[in-house]
Amino acid sequence: MTLLDADIAFRYPGGGAGIECAWQDPIDDPRVTVFLGASGSGKTTILRCLAGLERPDRGHVRLGDRTWFDAGRGIHLPPDQRDLGVLFQDYALFPHMTVQKNIAFGGRGMPRDAAAQRVAELLDAFGLRGLEHRLPRQLSGGQQQRVALARAVFRQPKLLLLDEPLSALDRATGDEVREELRTFIRTLAIPAYIVSHDRVDALTLADRTVLIDEGRIVQAGSTKEVFDAPKTPAAARLVGIDTILLGRIASVDNGLARVMVGTQEVRAAAPAEAGHEAALCIRAEDVTIALHDTEDLSTVNRWRAVVRTETSEGPFVRVGLDCGFRLSALVTRDAWKRLALAPGATAWAMVKATTIQAMARN
Amino acid sequence: MDWVAVGLTVKLAALTTLILGVVGLPLAYWLATTKRKWRPLVDAAVAVPLLLPPTVLGFYLLMATGPNSAIGRIYGRMFDGAIPFSFAGILAASVLYNLPFAVRPFASGFAAVDRRLLEAARCLGASAPRTFMTIVLPLSWPAVLAGLALAFAHTVGEFGVVLMVGGNIPGVTRTLALAIYDDVQALDYAGANEASALLVLFAVSVLAVTYSLQRRVLPL
């Protein structure tokens, strides 16, 4: 089993939280891991430390029996001696070289025939046939990314690092290219680390998701596990929980807590004893909007609410509610029309206690 | 026209430019890419001839290379001669004095190359020298050419430092600029005029060419 064993501590020259994270990852199966974090969370720095473009202050990075970095032993291999492929944020294609030359750049020392064959193979695999004599500036964003990816995998690296692979593209192209990228990464069968600030990347590309906040790993696990059950408010925010309420557990009865959020009461599975602080995560799609309160429902959380905002989101409408706390709801456009509500109107917001994820805060 | 002086001037400028190419390119690359704290010191040392009167550099060079100095003794043992008042002396002086004219355009040209391209090359297995040859030079050659042209032209026009270190020995250290000075002293205005016109024409052409290569890399 080949293990990537990383323990990285890095201080920025200008101060700040710096990076402090450690993880171990078997990289025999070609898994895709997304490092998800807001911009400025340090995720790109972590990637650069892996690539050897930054030198951490402390710690080590090992791949199998090879040591790439060891602060204690003064080892720091330059990027060209680490066996990895890197896809840069805006691709960093060499502007003075054709597509063909860009792709073959890593092929120095290879026999000419073998290199030419490998280029041909990659041109086909990445759908770049016919573009081999173009210069990078004559390519579309998606084509540039394919060239960059072909170039990065030319030498069949052990590990692929992708820095915000889709952020250089506009939204529509991004969606299209993401789909392509997914296919390519699966076909390449090289384990990949992708750094991204976009949770869609994690949801569509990643087997595993690592959440990064202020240079620390806040949670790591299978993508499903991380998105289903974020363990901290920071993690919840990263995976896109729409409403995070902070409150105090007033009482616990048979495992069900009454949490006071301001003067409102919210029921959820108890994460801790009474008296503790709790964070409650509510997804917008789990919120029901009703015109009247009713006892005929099993739903225990029913709050009187004032509609504050409405925003169109494709077939849905995102509704900002004020229940004494801010609550975001996502309903279909048809339902919204049927209720005939508008900002300023009064309604009821309902959330099943079972859908609320409660976590203890220290 | 003093063709011996012209020949000597061209020889001095060509050799100076050659040496500045060999020494200046790596130095400039280091300056453009290093993150070391003492880089500004090296920057300052390279640029200081721009501010110093040539007599100061000439004076220190004479002191450092005189027959009784360490360098002078070693040189004397190896080549059976002295550095001051020799061609080797004015060559050394020219190289030092012209360092900023070559290194600064080089360095600003290198600094203008997107750093991520260098990082990408390194991540694709290229060593630092190979990255320099395949990425940096092809993307900054106008700056390199500008630096070499400026160094050449400035050496051709150099007066003070050559006079200080080389004296004024016909065929050995008397360059065209010195010949003009001699002509004027001897009231040979026709000779001075000829040589001066040649230098003006030369300087304007070099500057025109370098400016057309790439305006932004020039330190002037």
- Does the pLDDT value for residue A163 go beyond 80? yes
**How far, in Å, CA of B207 to CA of A227, rounded?**
63
Please give the angle made by the CA atoms of A20, A26 and A30, to the nearest 5 degrees. 115
Mean pLDDT, rounded, for B111-123: 94
Please give the average per-residue pLDDT across A170-191, as a whole number.
Answer: 83
Mark yes or no for CB contact B138/A154 under 8 Å.
no
- CA triplet B135, B136, B140: central angle to 5 degrees? 120
Q: Is the complex ipTM higher than 0.90?
A: no
Alpha-carbon dihedral angle through residues B121, B122, B126, B131, given to the nearest 10 degrees: 60
- Report how far residue B102's alpha carbon sits from residue B105's, in angstroms, rounded to the nearest whole number: 6
| Per-residue pLDDT at B220 | 38
pLDDT digits (tens, 9 = 90+) for A44-65: 999 999 999 999 999 999 999 9
pLDDT surpassing 90 at residue A170: no
Using a CB-CB cut-off of 8 Å, the residues of chain B touching A89 are 116
**For residues A106-117, average pLDDT:** 90
Measure the CA angle with vertex B107, ends B102 and B111; round to 5°.
Answer: 160
> B86-122 burial, b for 16+ CB within 10 Å, e for fewer?
bbbbbbbbbbbbbbbbbbbbbbbbbbebeebbbbbbb
Cβ distance B119 to A95 less than 8 Å, yes or no, reads no
What's the pLDDT at B218?
41
User: What is the rounded CA–CA span in Å between residue A84 and residue A53?
Assistant: 12
Question: In the predicted model, what is the mean pLDDT of residues A319-346?
Answer: 93
User: Taking 70 as the threshold, does the pLDDT of residue B138 lie above it?
Assistant: yes
Q: For the residues B106-129, what does the mean pLDDT come to?
A: 93
pLDDT digits (tens, 9 = 90+) for A209-264: 999 999 999 999 999 899 888 888 889 889 888 888 889 999 999 999 999 999 99
State residue A362's pLDDT score.
61
Q: What is the pLDDT of residues A288-331, one digit of tens each?
A: 999 999 889 999 999 999 999 999 888 899 999 999 999 999 99
Closest listed residue to residue B121, CA positions, set A114, A148, A63, A127: A148
**CB–CB of A69/A56 below 8 Å?**
yes
| Confidence band, pLDDT 50/70/90 cuts, at residue A77 | very high
A101/B contact by beta carbon, under 8 A:
no
Q: Answer for the pair A361, A246: CB distance below 8 angstroms, yes or no.
A: yes
Higher pLDDT, A113 or A167: A113
pTM: 0.78
Query: What is the reported pLDDT for A88?
Result: 94
Per the CB < 8 Å rule, is A96 touching B130? no
Ranges A10-14, A55-59, A302-306, B119-123: which has the least confidence:
A10-14
- Separation between Cα atoms, residue B124 and residue A226, nearest integer Å: 33
- pLDDT (0 to 100) of residue B214: 63
**What's the confidence (pLDDT) of residue A28?**
84
Any idea which residue has 């501590």 for tokens? A9
Is A80 in the B-facing interface, judged by CB distances under 8 Å? Answer: yes
Helix (H, G, I), strand (E, B) or coil at A3: strand
Q: Give the burial string for A255-272 (b: 16+ CB within 10 Å, else e).
A: eebbbebeebebbbebbb
- The 3-state secondary structure of chain B, one letter per residue: CCHHHHHHHHHHHHHHHHHHHHHHHHHHHHHHHCCCCCHHHHHHHHHHHHCCCHHHHHHHHHHHHCCCCHHHHHHHHHHCCCCCCCHHHHHHHHHHHHHHHHHHHHHHHHHCCCHHHHHHHHHCCCCHHHHHHHHHHHHHHHHHHHHHHHHHHHHHCCCHHHHHHHCCCCCCCCCHHHHHHHHHHCCCHHHHHHHHHHHHHHHHHHHHHHHHHCHHHCCC
At A1, is the pLDDT very low, low, confident or very high (cuts 50, 70, 90)?
confident
Q: Which helix (H) or strand (E) holds A63?
A: strand A58-63
Instruction: Give chain A's mean pLDDT.
Output: 91
Residue B219 has what pLDDT? 42
Asked if the C-beta of A193 comes within 8 angstroms of chain B's C-beta atoms, the answer is no
Chain B environment of A84 (Cβ under 8 Å)? 123
Selected for mutation to probe chain A from B34, B35, B123 (highest A CB count within 10 Å) is B123
Q: Does A92 touch chain B (CB under 8 A)?
A: yes
**Min Cα–Cα distance to chain A from B17, Å:** 27
Q: Which residue has the tokens 């000597």?
A: B8
B207-220 residue pLDDT tens: 888 888 765 544 43
pLDDT for the residue numbered A185: 86
Task: Return the residue matching tokens 């040189």.
Answer: B75
Dihedrals phi, psi of A159, to nearest 5 degrees:
-145, 140
CA–CA distance, B128 with B130 (Å, rounded to integer):
5
User: Is the minimum CB–CB distance between B35 and chain A shorter than 8 Å?
Assistant: no
Instruction: Please name the residue that has the structure tokens 């203890």.
Output: A360
Q: How far is A277 from chain B (nearest CA, A)?
A: 46
Give chain A positions within 8 Å (CB) of B136.
none
Confidence of residue A180 (pLDDT cuts 50, 70, 90): confident
pLDDT at residue B125, as a whole number:
93
pLDDT in tens, B142-198: 889 989 999 999 999 888 898 888 888 888 889 999 899 999 999 999 989 999 999
